[in-house]
A = this chain, B = another copy of it.
Amino acid sequence: MSTVWTQARRAARMNPSIIREILKVTEKPGILSMAGGLPSADTFPVDALKAACDRVLSQNPREALQYAASEGFAPLRDWVAQRVASLGMKVKPEQVLITSGSQQGLDLVGKVLCDAGAPVAVETPTYLGALQAFTPYEPLFTSLASDAQGPLPEALAALPHDAPGTRFAYLLPNYQNPTGRVMTAARREAVVEAARRVGVPIVEDNPYGDLWFDQPPPAALSSLWPEGSLYLGSFSKVLTPGFRLGYVIAPPELYPKLLQAKQAADLHTPGFNQRVVYEVIRDGFLEAHIPSIRARYKANRDAMATALSSHLPAGCEWQAPEGGMFFWIRLPTGLDAMALLPQAVDAGIAYVPGAAFYAQQPDARTLRLSFVTLTPELIGEGVDKLGRLLRATLNAVQERAP
């Protein structure tokens, strides 16, 4: 096609999100979707938000509706700085940058820290949205060997530290998307020690840390190495994603560049949204609200664990997550989760094939199931259908075998 538009070199690397394309398919009515990464809409505090909108527009309309500081709403920054003390972090409000969801935090990190060809280390597998956020900045991804507790310290210790060096290791210690795994306290210490030894700083992403079921996760990685860590948080999973509110906590030396990148990106996160959320949470609302989310999600986790044990064929592997929103399943040899998806949708269910979550060498046998969007009853029904599909496919594979 003849065109006057010449696109940037980096645009060639930007590809449609496979997950978003899948989600469009699974929005067909009647599909039992375990694909999305959406929190349960039943957890949204509608009345509290409605009252807060009214208060903000009654008490401070001129400020809430005007342009605002790029750093974010000062009382909300104060709140965040205090909040993360419970994760062992000692943070000043001046280190907090309010972002338009933590996805924007990832984009700003990419803009300020990534160069074309400079390595960035990620877990195996890792959050797809982070790969998408960093990719336009053309890093060279290094996929860290990982086990059920997260990345292996020896993989971090082996990172190249010659120029251009590994710019950072992107880590999700709590109920990771997609695997649901959590890093133990010992693993955290070993990982941070290894990173520190090779001089590779850590970008810690923690959207799910509040969603623990039996016991809170160990202290944040950022608490173990404050000057070598950047922390990303979010209100999406504990309040509402529809307000798009997250935050970055950065070492003082990095903060000014992140702030400039934020100004250039969208001037500031909506001041109205920041004030409304602050009105909701300022007096301890989350202390009662988050436990209600935990109880709901734990019941769903239990329902899915039971259903998986009942319905999945031998050879499937998984680990019940101790928090978060996802089960991560590995299918028996010979099955390919992406290839099976059309049949799954025909059967009335949806999941996310795991391949999309790998920076390198995808494992085609993996898939991600969310347990928070369906009711326990429908989870049973959906996993039953998945089990039937897998058994039928395994039988067909075995019949074809010599």
Contacts and interface: CB of A to CB of B under 8 A. Distances in A.
B66 A241 contact: yes
Interface stretch (A42-50, A316-324, A339-347): A42-50
Given A3-B253, A58-B50, A137-B8, A64 B242 contact: yes
Given A58-B50, A201-B5, A251-B5, A242 B113 contact: no
A133 interface: yes
A115 B9 contact: yes
A222 B241 CA distance: 35
A5 B252 CA distance: 11
A135 interface: yes
Nearest to A161: B4
A16 B271 contact: no
Interface residues of A, number: 88
Interface string A29-50: 0000000111101001010011
A326 to B, nearest CB: 15
Interface string A235-272: 01000111110000001011011001101111111111
Contact of A8 (B107, B111, B199, B236): B111
A190 interface: no
Nearest to A163: B6
Contacts of A38: 66-67
Interface in A1-16: 1, 3-11, 14-16
A6 B271 CA distance: 32
Contact of A14 (B57, B101, B264): B264
25 contacts: A4-B199, A4-B200, A5-B228, A7-B254, A8-B111, A8-B112, A8-B114, A9-B115, A11-B111, A14-B260, A16-B256, A20-B263, A41-B65, A44-B65, A49-B61, A53-B57, A103-B266, A103-B267, A107-B265, A129-B267, A136-B261, A242-B270, A242-B271, A244-B270, A270-B273
